[in-house]
């Protein structure tokens, strides 16, 4: 759907006489929940405009999932990435240093009941390199000290600490 249409639709309010709730059938709700459970939400960290069609095309190409990946534009730069299998979600998250035109892509799991206007992203995977350390500080202990100041560390490249 067009982002302007979604924004307009979200701005509609009902007067009390019109405020009857519309019930979604249990069958449809279960189907929607099942489909959404295999999805990630994502946004490119940028305030600049970018070619969303090209970004989606690039992700489809890099993720190599073909027709097993659906990318739904949720408006205001938010995307829902629907996968066919849990293993595909795990792969996308494990290799999550994705970007388009130097704009990093932040990802998070979909959660039941999460409205699109309140989706928050609280972390991003970053590759950190520390340059210019004195030789006597290039040690595992210094690496651990630096790690403790960065937040959650996923992996460390130990090659620099090993001798050939």
Domain ranges within the chain, ordered by starting residue: 3-9+25-114, 127-164
Q: What pLDDT is recorded for position 160? A: 67
What is the architecture, at CATH level 2, of domain 3-9+25-114? Answer: 2-Layer Sandwich (3.30)
C-alpha of 117 from chain center: 15
Nearest to 160 by CA among 134, 140, 132, 136: 140
**CA atoms of 57 and 44, how far apart (whole Å):** 14
* Predicted TM-score (pTM) of this structure: 0.65
Tokens found for residue 44 = 């490119």
Q: What pLDDT is recorded for position 81? A: 92
Going residue by residue through the chain, which has 164 residues, state the pLDDT in tens, using 9 for 90 and above.
556 666 666 666 666 655 566 666 666 667 777 777 889 999 998 888 898 889 888 888 888 887 888 998 888 889 999 998 899 989 888 887 788 898 999 998 888 877 777 788 877 777 778 888 898 888 888 888 888 888 777 777 777 666 55
**CA atoms of 132 and 137, how far apart (whole Å):** 10
Q: Are 110 and 36 in contact (CB under 8 A)?
A: yes
Q: What pLDDT is recorded for position 41? A: 92
**CA atoms of 105 and 56, how far apart (whole Å):** 11
């Amino acid at each position: 759907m067009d982002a302007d249409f979604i924004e307009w639709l979200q701005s509609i309010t009902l007067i009390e006489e019109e405020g009857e709730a519309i019930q979604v059938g249990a069958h449809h709700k279960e189907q929607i929940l099942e489909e959404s459970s295999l999805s990630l939400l994502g946004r490119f960290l940028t305030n600049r405009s970018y070619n969303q069609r090209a970004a989606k095309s690039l992700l489809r190409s890099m993720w190599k999932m073909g027709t097993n990946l659906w990318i739904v534009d949720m408006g205001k730069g938010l995307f829902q990435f629907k996968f066919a299998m849990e293993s595909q979600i795990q792969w996308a998250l494990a290799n999550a240093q994705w970007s388009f035109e130097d704009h990093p892509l932040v990802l998070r799991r979909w959660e039941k009941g999460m409205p699109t206007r309140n989706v928050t992203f609280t972390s991003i995977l970053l590759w950190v390199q520390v340059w210019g350390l004195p030789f006597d500080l290039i040690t595992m202990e210094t690496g651990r000290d630096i790690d403790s100041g960065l937040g959650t560390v996923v992996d460390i490249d130990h090659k620099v600490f090993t001798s050939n």
